Amino acid sequence: MKPDAAIGVLERTPPTLRALLGGLSDDLTSAGGHEEEWGPFDVVGHLIFGEETDWIPRAGIILEHGDSRPFVPFDRFAQFQRFKGRSLDDLLNEFERARDRNVQTLREMKISADQLKLRGMHPELGRVTLGQLLATWVVHDLNHIGQIAEAMAKRYDAAVGPWKAYLPILDR
Amino acid sequence: MKPDAAIGVLERTPPTLRALLGGLSDDLTSAGGHEEEWGPFDVVGHLIFGEETDWIPRAGIILEHGDSRPFVPFDRFAQFQRFKGRSLDDLLNEFERARDRNVQTLREMKISADQLKLRGMHPELGRVTLGQLLATWVVHDLNHIGQIAEAMAKRYDAAVGPWKAYLPILDR
């Protein structure tokens, strides 16, 4: 995936999450209360952590070391401690700032079509390319936008009554 | 579900879809090309059609006729003909206008806690309540926000390479 195409989606995620979640009642947006049951609050924390430790740092490792230095493993659960006691609106602001910085860094990397084929070493998945990393950054955003919609929907699981049969988001 | 809680989510959907989709490349947002494979364009058309024929008209039937008059069946595929040749930004504007009007109508209905228990007759599901209708309107929005994220993500299915294993949105 080319950097410009990735940026076209990446820069939309903070305003999308702000439109969906900003100022909304805690009933709908709070943490899930369990490591395997994320609420919107947990997802936004996870996205911040990804901005700090995942995408751009890994792109830097590929550009500098290729596949000779494996990526640092990503901590999927760091957000549960890190953001305790913060407000969701505060996290939305922090995510927006971190994403803006990283989009700017990605632009400054001026990655060429040839560089998209450069390889890195994922600690579990093995060899991956820089182009795959950029596509994954984008799809990871979309995955978590879907997860937030799902977490919000599930809080109305009982309230929809018989209509549940028509709402696949309640069945995942 | 109470009208105020429903409105809190319902009024966020047009700006959320505009942030996610507005001005984005057709590659990512076009129609799916098949009745069972909706693209973002098809989903927004479906949401407009729901504003016109589903939620508020059905609330009106319940308030006026209770369960003595079944709802008019909803056409899940109307959008495929109806919006042909239009632009997505045009549909996003139309959805916003239709939703704004309906939120205003919902406010003017001044539905009481007792009225939320009123029953209507769904043509397939049988008896449902007005409160369930409002919750379903909300969850239906979230369901389709999730579907749009999924349709966008799937256009990068091949591009993520080995990372696909970590992205459940690509596996639905």
| Of A143, A156, A159, Cβ closest to residue B168 | A143
Question: Across residues A122-141, what is the average pLDDT?
Answer: 98
A118 has pLDDT over 90? yes
Distance, CA of A124 to CA of A131 (rounded, Å): 18
A77 has pLDDT over 90? no
* Average pLDDT value for chain A: 95
Question: Across residues A34-51, what is the average pLDDT?
Answer: 94
Q: What is the pLDDT of residue B78?
A: 84
Distance, CA of B18 to CA of A83 (rounded, Å): 29
* Average pLDDT value for chain B: 95
- Residue B9, Cα to own-chain centre: how many angstroms? 12
Q: What is the pLDDT of residue B131?
A: 98
Question: B interface mutation test: which of A166, A167, A170, A171 has the most B CBs within 10 A?
Answer: A166
Which pLDDT band holds residue A54 (cuts at 50, 70, 90)?
very high
Q: Which residues of A touch B12 (CB under 8 A)?
A: 19-20, 24
Q: Which residues of A touch B142 (CB under 8 A)?
A: 149-150, 152-153, 169
pLDDT tens digits for range B128-172: 999 999 999 999 999 999 999 999 999 999 999 999 999 999 998
Which pLDDT band holds residue B35 (cuts at 50, 70, 90)?
confident
Own/partner long-range contacts of B58-63 (Cβ < 8 Å, ≥24 apart)? B58/B120, B58/B133, B59/B106, B59/B109, B59/B111, B59/B130, B59/B133, B59/B134, B61/B120, B62/B118, B62/B119, B62/B120, B62/B130, B62/B133, B63/B109, B63/B111, B63/B115, B63/B118, B63/B130
**Is the CB of residue B128 less than 8 Å away from at least one CB of chain A?**
yes
- The shortest C-alpha distance from B50 to chain A (Å) reads 14
Q: What is the pLDDT of residue B91?
A: 97
Question: Across residues A24-51, what is the average pLDDT?
Answer: 93
Question: Across residues B83-106, what is the average pLDDT?
Answer: 97
Query: Which of B40, B9, B47, B39 has the alpha carbon at shortest distance from B22?
Result: B40
A69 has pLDDT over 90? yes
Q: What is the pLDDT of residue B33?
A: 82
SS3 A152: helix
Is residue B121 a contact partner of residue B67, using CB atoms and an 8 Å limit?
yes
Question: Across residues A32-37, what is the average pLDDT?
Answer: 85
Give the bridge partners for A142, in sequence order.
none
Pick from A37-41, B47-51, B76-80, B103-107: least confident: B76-80
pLDDT tens digits for range B9-33: 999 999 999 999 999 989 899 999 8
A41 has pLDDT over 90? yes
Q: What is the pLDDT of residue A76?
A: 83
State what percent of residues in chain B have pLDDT above 90: 88
| Of A19, A153, A162, Cβ closest to residue B139 | A153
* Segment holding A120, helix H or strand E: strand A119-122
Question: B138–A156: do the CB atoms touch at under 8 Å?
Answer: yes
Query: Which of A6, A1, A33 has the alpha carbon at shortest distance from A102?
Result: A6
Q: Which residue has the tokens 């076009």?
A: B30
Question: A167–B136: do the CB atoms touch at under 8 Å?
Answer: yes
Q: Which of residues 33-62 of B touch A (CB under 8 A)?
A: none
| Of A28, A161, A167, Cβ closest to residue B129 | A161
Is residue B117 a contact partner of residue B129, using CB atoms and an 8 Å limit?
yes
- The runs of H, that is alpha helices, within chain A are 3-10, 13-21, 26-29, 40-53, 55-65, 79-82, 88-109, 130-154
Q: What is the pLDDT of residue A36?
A: 84
The string over A102-115, giving b where at least 16 C-beta atoms fall within 10 Å of a residue's C-beta and e elsewhere, is: bbeebeeeebeeeb
- The shortest C-alpha distance from A79 to chain B (Å) reads 18
Q: Which residues of A touch B163 (CB under 8 A)?
A: 122, 125, 128, 132, 135-136, 139
What angle do the packed helices B3-10 and B88-109 form, to 10 degrees? 170
Strands A126-129 and B119-122: unpaired
Q: What is the pLDDT of residue A81?
A: 85
Question: A interface mutation test: which of B16, B38, B147 has the most A CBs within 10 A?
Answer: B16
SS3 B11: coil
